Structure 1
Amino acid sequence: MERIDKWLWAARFFKTRTLAKKMVEQGKIKVDGQKCKPSRNIAIGNHISIKKNDQLWEVKVLQMAEKRGSATIAQTLYEETAESIKNRESAILLSKMEYHSTPKPDKRPTKKQRRDIKSFKSQG
């Protein structure tokens, strides 16, 4: 048994334990469909949903980790569901399409245009 915040850090979902703890406290992490505290112990076979950067990871715990290791070792700690992989890939593709479809200016605005933009934003 291991704490959820330590496991998330060891599995390299978050860069620091503090960040992992913060995300658990904010309710972005669910264990078996329920919100939890950072001190919650997890076991092999638990299903964890992780909401990170507008992406949802659904993983099953396969192993516990004594300490944080390399990325290849971290990938052996969990198994992501096929549906989760498909949903994340489609979300990434959608965000790329949205980025490329938004109009972008050819050049930077002039000083007068910047003043006009600033006054327009402050009005509303």
Structure 2
Amino acid sequence: MAGASVRIDKYLWSVRLFKTRTIAAEACKKGKVMMNGISVKSSRTIKAGDEIEIRMPPITRRFKVLDVAEKRMGAKLTPDFIKDITPPDQFEMLELARLASNANRDRGMGRPTKKDRRDLEKLQEGDWDL
């Protein structure tokens, strides 16, 4: 379909960046989808060669349109239509954010560990060595 143009919300849905076309249109409406640093409406048409930025907090992902498609495709076919050109530093930020969220877990939250369980059993049986 080289040379054709497609609505951006339909394209983002067809290359599997969004689960539904409605979610893709909503992301455009909220200003999360940009072309050349300018947020675009869902009715904006795109063509091969365009670059798209999608804000997916905490990072902004960048994609290059290789070819356009109107119908949803299998995941194995998407590399022929879109290329991820997100800078590596964005993925580093994502990893740091993930690690930071794990580090903030308060002690005692969640399920007790095996060691905690054994300590509780010892305490209840009176075998606690002080």
Question: Which residue number corresponds to residue 96 of structure 2?
Answer: 94
Question: Which residue number corresponds to residue 105 of structure 1?
Answer: 107
Contact 1:29 1:50 in 2 (8 A): yes
Contact 1:68 1:74 in 2 (8 A): no
Give SS of 2:63's match.
Answer: strand
Give SS of 1:5's match.
Answer: helix
Q: CA deviation at 1:12?
A: 0.9
| Equivalent of 1:46 in 47, 50, 60 | 50
CA distance in 2, matches of 1:19, 1:107: 34
TM superposition score normalised by structure 2:
0.73
TM superposition score normalised by structure 1:
0.76
> Quick check: which has more Rg, 1 or 2?
2
2:53 partner amino acid? S
Q: CA deviation at 1:74?
A: 1.9
Q: CA deviation at 1:45?
A: 0.5
Taking only the aligned residue pairs, the percentage that are identical comes to 30
Stretches of structure 1 that go unaligned for 5 or more consecutive residues are 109-124
Asked if residue 75 in structure 1 is aligned to residue 65 in structure 2, the reply is no
How many equivalent residue pairs?
A: 106
Q: CA deviation at 1:55?
A: 2.4
* TM-align CA RMSD: 1.7
Contact 2:10 2:70 in 1 (8 A): no
Stretches of structure 2 that go unaligned for 5 or more consecutive residues are 111-130
2:46 partner amino acid? I
Distance 1:107 1:20, change over 3 A: closer
Contact 2:58 2:94 in 1 (8 A): no
CA distance in 2, matches of 1:36, 1:22: 11
Distance 1:107 1:30, change over 3 A: closer
| Equivalent of 2:31 in 11, 27, 31 | 27
Distance 1:105 1:8, change over 3 A: same
Q: CA deviation at 1:103?
A: 4.0
Contact 2:6 2:46 in 1 (8 A): yes
Cα deviation, 1:42-69, whole Å, max 9, x if unaligned, reads 0110111011243211111001113101
